[in-house]
Amino acid sequence: MWYFTDEQKQLVDVCASFAKNEIAPHAEKHDTDETFNIDAFKKMGELGLLGITADPEYGGAGMGATAATIVMEEFGKACPGLTLSYLAHSMLCVNNIETNASKEQKEKYLPKLITGEHIGAMGMSEPGYGSDAVGMQCKATKKDDHYSITGNKMWITNAQYADVVYLYTRTGSARKDLTTFIVEKGMDGFSVSKEIHKMGMRGSPTGELTFENCKVPLENRVGEEGDSVHHMMRNLEIERLTIAGISLGIAQACVDQCIKYANEREQFGKTLGNFQLIQKMIAEMATETEMMRTFLYDSCKLWDEGKVSNTRAAMVKLQLPKMATKIALDAIQLHGGYGYSREFPVEKLLRDNKLNEIGAGTNEVMIMIIAKNLLNQMK
């Protein structure tokens, strides 16, 4: 983008090179085998990317939503699954701790999360509570010198590898009586109870977390009891912007694949790129992708300046994944039978992107948020 700083332009180059050399060559295998490229993930720590928004005092890069989204786009072109795990670690765990935790908690947890020695996750959704996250039932009960936590968390990215979980729980009967804790791997009563197998994002591990009278020290509570809803709201905008960055990467990858294929594939004695209908498809896909890019990075810039609204972030989260799905479907159509097979990556890109229409708030929830906010403004 024309307004990227020199530092952000350098970040684009670093991430593009890393994605090409460390992520893309292994993406197909990790999708097929449903495995996690932990080696590449650890190397992200060496590049200083795992704490992209965290304070340099703890080893972070001290950058904002624009920089984080650059990483999502460049990595998303190569392997959306691994990029989703990166998002769960850097945005849902690290950024939440950076934003909401005490200085002591930051000093304890952030350095190892930022170097990649530890992997992070966030526990919000439950088997019976997805879109209605505030209705969660995982309960924390205060004892003498600790909290006892009981319940389950579902659809947790990085569950099987997480050393640290940023966990939301219920501590009272009212809907907003929710409290946050930092839970560590190895705490009594904490386990990964089920591995979840998915249609797409297969290179990103997903599981169910179980807490059976899990004993968590008082000092692991983040803020005061009842602060969780506030914590959620403080992180939602950047979460929605950055996951849209993965969809932007997917859309651009589809465009790149279509241009390459149209220049190579021959039908009726000439390459596909010579047919006007194929030209129309590519021109529209590329234009739609550029519209996505402008809307997203303009919104990220506003977030970095403290000006983005909840409505704007929801609009980005609604529209970009929807457009990326449409572009991926067009890419499959352009590739014909090859697009429907696994010989070309466009079918994988479609499978991966569908998650972005569900995670971090479904399309339907985004519509509810946008409409509610706009109608209330008119009042």
Task: Say yes or no to pLDDT of 246 above 90.
Answer: yes
Strand ranges inside 87-143, DSSP E: 120-123, 139-142
- CATH of segment(s) 229-374: 1.20.140.10
CATH topology of domain 121-227: Butyryl-CoA Dehydrogenase, subunit A; domain 2 (2.40.110)
**Does 239 participate in catalysis according to the annotation?**
yes
Q: Do the beta carbons of residue 155 and residue 92 sit within 8 Å?
A: no
pLDDT digits (tens, 9 = 90+) for 114-130: 999 999 999 999 999 99
Please state the domain extents for the chain: 6-119, 121-227, 229-374
Task: Say yes or no to pLDDT of 240 above 80.
Answer: yes
Q: Give the C-alpha separation, 284 to 295, whole Å.
A: 17
Q: Give the C-alpha separation, 314 to 131, whole Å.
A: 14
pLDDT digits (tens, 9 = 90+) for 285-338: 999 999 999 999 999 999 999 999 999 999 999 999 999 999 999 999 999 999
Q: Token pair for residue 16? A: 């593009």
Which is the catalytic residue, given 73, 74, 239, 357? 239
User: Was domain 6-119 assigned CATH 1.10.540.10?
Assistant: yes
* Residue 219 banded pLDDT, cuts 50, 70, 90: very high
Question: What was the pLDDT predicted at 3?
Answer: 87
Answer positive or negative: Cα dihedral of 104, 95, 139, 211: negative
* Residue 2 banded pLDDT, cuts 50, 70, 90: confident
H or E stretch covering 101: none
What average pLDDT score do residues 62-68 get?
98
pLDDT digits (tens, 9 = 90+) for 75-106: 999 999 999 999 999 999 999 999 999 999 99
pLDDT digits (tens, 9 = 90+) for 155-185: 999 999 999 999 999 999 999 999 999 999 9
Q: Do the beta carbons of residue 137 and residue 118 sit within 8 Å?
A: no
Q: Token pair for residue 276? A: 């006007």
Question: What was the pLDDT predicted at 234?
Answer: 82
Q: Give the C-alpha separation, 303 to 245, whole Å.
A: 14
Write the DSSP symbol of residue 129: B
| Averaged pLDDT of the chain | 97
pLDDT above 70 as % of the chain: 100
Question: What was the pLDDT predicted at 233?
Answer: 86
Cα–Cα distance list, 278 to 15, 244, 271, 339, 350 (Å): 31, 27, 10, 14, 19
Q: Give the C-alpha separation, 166 to 8, whole Å.
A: 28
What average pLDDT score do residues 217-240 get?
94
Question: What was the pLDDT predicted at 86?
Answer: 98
* CA quadruple 85, 3, 100, 207: dihedral, nearest 10: -10
Q: Do the beta carbons of residue 355 and residue 200 sit within 8 Å?
A: yes
